[in-house]
Amino acid sequence: MAMINLDGRQVELNPEGFLVDPGVWNDDLALALARQEEGLPALDEQHWAVIRFIRQYYLENQAAPMVRLICKTTGLPLKRIYELFPSGPAKGACKLAGLPKPDGCV
C-alpha cells in the first residue's frame, strides 16, 4: 500500500496516489502531495485558489467540478490551470485537493 509521510504520521494512498480517505485532507497534506505526487516544491496563491475551490465543491457535491467552473470561480484562464498542475485537473489538482480519483478515461 502506498503511503505519504506527514509529520511522522503515515497517510494511506491508493496505487495512483489519491487519498484512500478523502476526509483526512488538510493544507499540510495538500503540500505533501504536491511534492511527492506532482513534483511541485511549493504551492502559490493560484494553486491554493484552485485547490480550495475543488475541495469546497467536492464537500458540497461529492464530485469534482467541471474545469469550466474552476476557471469561472478562480478567474484563471484554462491554459493557466494546465500550467499550475502539470498532470492536469484530475491527476493534479483534484489529487492535491484530496478527492478520490474521478471515473472515466482519466
Partner 1 sequence: MASLEERIDALTEAQLRHGLEVFRSKLRAAEAAYLNACVHCGLCADSCHYYRTEPALENVPARKLDHVAAAFKRHFTTAGRLVPRLVGARPFDRAMVRAWLDSVFGRCTLCGRCSLNCTIGIGLPRVFRAARAALAAMGLVPDDLQATVDNSLVHGNNMAITKEDWVDTVQWLEEELQMETGDPGARIPLDKQGARVLFTVNPREPKFFPLSLQASAKVFWAAGEDWTLASDPGWDLTNYGLFNCNDEQAGRITQNLVDAMERLGCTTLVIGECGHGFGSARWEGPEWLQRRYPFELCSVLELMDEYLTSGRIAVDPSRNPKPVTLHDPCNLVRHGGVSEPQRRVLRRSVAHFVEMTPSREQSFCCGGGGGQLAMAAYKDRRIRAGGMKAQQIRATGAEIVVAPCHNCIDQLMELNKEYTLGIQVKTVAEMVAEALVTAGPSPSEGKTTT
Residue 9's beta-bridge partner residues?
6
Please identify, among the stretches 3-11, 28-36, 46-54, 86-94, the one whose residues bind partner 1 according to the rule CB under 8 A: 86-94
Assess 98 for contact with partner 1 (CB under 8 A).
no
Contact status, residue 89 vs residue 70, Cβ threshold 8 Å: yes
In the numeric block, which cell numbers belong to residue 101?
480519483
Distance (Å, whole) CA 64 – CA 96:
12
Q: Among 29, 90, 105, 106, which one carries the catalytic annotation?
A: 105
Interface of this chain with partner 1, residues 19 to 58, rule: CB under 8 A: none
What's the min distance (Å) between Cβ of 50 and partner 1? 12
Binds partner 1 (CB under 8 A): choice among 90, 96, 97, 99: 90
Binds partner 1 (CB under 8 A): choice among 87, 96, 98, 99: 87
Assess 78 for contact with partner 1 (CB under 8 A).
yes
Place of cell 516544491: 41
Alpha carbons within 13 angstroms on the beta-carbon side of residue 84 total 23
Catalogue the active-site residues.
Answer: 105
